[in-house]
Chains A and B, each alone.
Chain A
């Protein structure tokens, strides 16, 4: 069995457009949430969203690449470019080694809608343009990045709802651990446009605290009223420990545990039993006990039901261990398909810089969150091991454990 380490991270999110900006925002407890007026015109219950600019890649990529890329692929390109540079993986390495990609994504709403709009209006498919098909497929991120970076290894998209990004890292870990790949680009991307979130808004999942955007995402707080959608992309470069040492790469952390489960129940309602099984499996895979975990990055999205179930699951598994718990979604909103990957990046930044980022807006505990050690202000703390949860619609659960390599 190979040890699996992280040698590069990159991120493009509403709390920063690179690792340094994001680290500072996490430390300061800065919210990236704002009000998007166009959503009200479109009939949204809530116009709250993570606010981030769509990048202009004209100077970075040939038009033929850009033509096939929806916004989520553009975010993923920037995050991956940053991560590869951090990992010191250059063009020569990519050309001479088998590097794979497993990236989380679960929608391409804008590309599909805009393409179909042209077809309906013009009654012609050619006029949809050549980029529409490549932008519209759910595997758009992996098909674009594998082309741009000339990747020759494993190459597919992981669609596991809001656990997509986490499962992508889990699957990359599995392949490297078992010797089937040496290096895999993992991550998650999430489009931020209103088209992608209308139906989610329609089931009353979003916070309507529109008069206080930065207060709206309040995981575990008694007065939470829903999540705030967000997006961007985050990339994690996984490779075998042996390979990383051989080429002198800086090792940022080691993935030591992956747990997963399916609730086998309701399509949107989580389950304590299913979540707890994922947590326990990751701990067993890592070969550690709950006392060894220094920080838990919770999935908690700020919905009344979801946070309650997760608080109960964490308490069931961790008991009174009082491990610090925060949900960085209090700052970022719910980055959905990206979240499982971005939260590994956020937690790694905390581990590297010895602090726990706050669960902002956690003001009043409820019956379940009161049983956890939820940190509402930044604390300085050495983190040797962290655990990150991700849960998604359909009852898909993923838990990852990362350890500092000394």
Chain B
């Protein structure tokens, strides 16, 4: 670890701190439907959208109607994405003449993946998807799945804030305002910033470059024999990347235009583009803590939640950075020390311009949030360095978290934390003036239990059956980590991977598709049920017996609940994967 590395990490956190208040206020105004400086440009578009979609913007919904509208929209837009993939050969903007995305289970997997804000990628973008599919199918879902997430978080906050009301807002209005005000204007500016750094944005066919020095390459032919061929040209994949790249991070989606995601020089060419992308991953999630404080009238509560997130972030980055900077002890005769002329450490699967600090930072941030973009391959991280991203997702990505989903995920932990505090002092737990009762805790536990159930059940089957094990690329404990990471990433709607696992098989495509859908919608429905139930309750003024949710003690309790729930659920699985591998790498064992 170097001082300069830590400087970059702290500057990044300072930027996130700085944006929290202005962005939080802005979002509170947008969803309270107060005036903002963007109204003159955006209100006319909003009105046209409501007219063509027959939305009554003054209609208020109960939580059930809110949930049904959200589900209908997700299903319809997911079916359209499936269709676009299957007929992309007949659609425009397809200079490489890609045919339908096939087999069908891959198209299903991808549709489920993007509709749930996961962006798990069982395909390689540059050799599968036409520009039209990337723009109107994949980048489109980056917008709307993020907007849906923000809408849900706002609905939950309203549930806490409202008193004796049956309704929690209008799904269509919240969603439209989320993409029109919060997502779209920033993306136009941000995508041009990225282009200024070298992220490509064009519709040209792939370019063919004549190599300066033609290369002899050994390839394995169809008969299994090694053949030497001479490569004289390089085909350079192009595309409308920047417009997708920016929403990929700003909406914590994570689906790369190219297979190598944000490690690809055309997606993330410079240290500055890397900082912009990192900033985008955390900004909205961080801002929502301020929105929470503002809309519920307890700004200090918002900051105490922010503090819990920041502490967990720092804990994660410390471990990853330390582990990656330490390098791989099995590589002999290699200089892995950090010096003035190299960042050293474990550089397998990392890019020189990012080095160790920025690769560790990106891996931590992308899994703290439910982003899943990568700028280095987590599969090639050291055992403990790769365990941190996995654990981050297992804690359900509430460390700033996915846009919206991080906030409502955190709210579930908050309900549990005040419940446990209530048990300890022997009083009915309260949260910001609302009594937390049996129904709320049951729904919260449903969320907490569905998540590991989906992950561990599918991972268990995959790690004993041939159709699961045969996809493993790295044998030994690392193979279990690959499987565990896949289902964790799917259920957490993250989308990053231990990429060695061959996932474009019927088993993984279908089970991962189911996992992603369960991880999104089976969480949202109980969460909305809590919101609807809270909105109905009377306000109870705080008394001496109320456990305050605005203090450092609350922050500590919240962190405790998060870590204990996560550890109790997943520690046995982790001990057989990354923990075991860590012990073995130090003992010099290979597989």
- A and B found bound together: no
Q: A residues bordering B, Cβ < 8 Å? A: none
Q: B residues bordering A, Cβ < 8 Å? A: none
